[in-house]
């Protein structure tokens, strides 16, 4: 005996709409949160520069930022996460200067701007430079992979730019990778060794004029070393 046809009506398919309140991971951080993060990062930068990763503590960073340790962990889940964020911010600033140089058209202008930016970074954010230097001197135990992944491609682009300028006869051909290493080392020294330099200059701290002198001399040495030889020489 056959069954009577079903009288159930099909349930209409409802279109899914976006929720009124998207998940926290999808929301843009508020201005207040960003301001608090920057305050924590600034204090962390100072503490890591002075004591290194092992010596700095979340309690000390939180106290300097005028918040509790528990509140700090709301923004950064661990000391390592905070440390890596500090390094990321330093590296992002430095890479922006390198990327700008690879897009430059005039070798002298591009190199002068890059050297100036690196020295200004040592003047304005010496603690940031010191944190990065401590990590590298220790063998980059927590940041080696990031350095290789983020710096390597940008450095190769800069070297290709130098090679192009050399091929056009605009600069002499040297080892451009080591040229960048030398620029990094000299500009970094004005952050790492600022106390020694100031003592030997007989002053309590390096002044902006001292950084201007360093910029003038370093630009002169680099650009002189890159002068293309006269044709037929």
pLDDT digit string, tens, across residues 182-195: 999 999 999 999 99
Measure the N-to-C terminal CA separation of the chain; round to a whole number of Å: 108
Task: Summarize the confidence of residues 158-175 as an average pLDDT.
Answer: 96
pLDDT in tens, 86-140: 999 999 999 999 999 888 889 999 999 999 999 999 999 999 999 999 999 999 9
Phi-psi region at 115: left, alpha or beta (left = phi > 0; alpha = psi -120 to 50): alpha
Residue 194 to residue 123: CA distance in whole angstroms: 9
Confidence grade of residue 27 (pLDDT, cut at 50, 70, 90): low
**Position 14 pLDDT exceeds 50:** no
pTM for this model (two decimals) = 0.82
Q: Taking a C-beta distance cutoff of 8 angstroms, is the pair 115, 183 a contact?
A: yes
CATH second-level architecture of 87-225?
A: Orthogonal Bundle (1.10)
**What Cα–Cα distance (Å) separates residue 83 from each residue in 47, 53, 127?**
10, 7, 13
Supply the angle between the helices 176-192 and 126-137 in degrees, to the nearest 10: 120
pLDDT at 31 over 50: yes
């Amino acid at each position: 005996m056959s069954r009577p046809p079903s009288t159930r009506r099909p349930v209409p398919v409802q279109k899914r709409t976006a929720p009124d309140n998207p998940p926290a991971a999808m929301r843009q951080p508020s201005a207040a949160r960003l301001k608090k993060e920057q305050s924590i990062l600034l204090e962390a930068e100072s503490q890591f520069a002075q004591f290194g990763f092992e010596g700095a503590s979340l309690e000390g960073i939180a106290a300097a930022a005028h918040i509790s340790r528990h509140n700090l962990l709301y923004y950064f889940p661990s000391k390592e996460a905070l440390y890596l964020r500090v390094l990321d911010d330093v590296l992002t600033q430095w890479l922006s200067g390198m990327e700008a140089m690879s897009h430059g058209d005039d070798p002298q202008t591009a190199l002068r701007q890059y050297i100036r930016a690196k020295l200004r970074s040592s003047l304005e954010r010496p603690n940031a430079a010191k944190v990065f230097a401590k990590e590298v001197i220790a063998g980059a135990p927590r940041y080696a992979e990031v350095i290789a992944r983020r710096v390597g491609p940008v450095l190769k682009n800069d070297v290709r730019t130098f090679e192009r300028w050399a091929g056009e006869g605009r600069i002499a051909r040297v080892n451009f990778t080591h040229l960048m290493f030398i620029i990094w080392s000299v500009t970094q020294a004005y952050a790492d060794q600022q106390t020694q330099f100031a003592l030997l200059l007989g002053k309590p701290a390096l002044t902006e004029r001292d950084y201007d002198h360093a910029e003038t001399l370093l630009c002169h040495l680099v650009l002189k070393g890159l002068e293309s030889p006269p044709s037929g020489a």
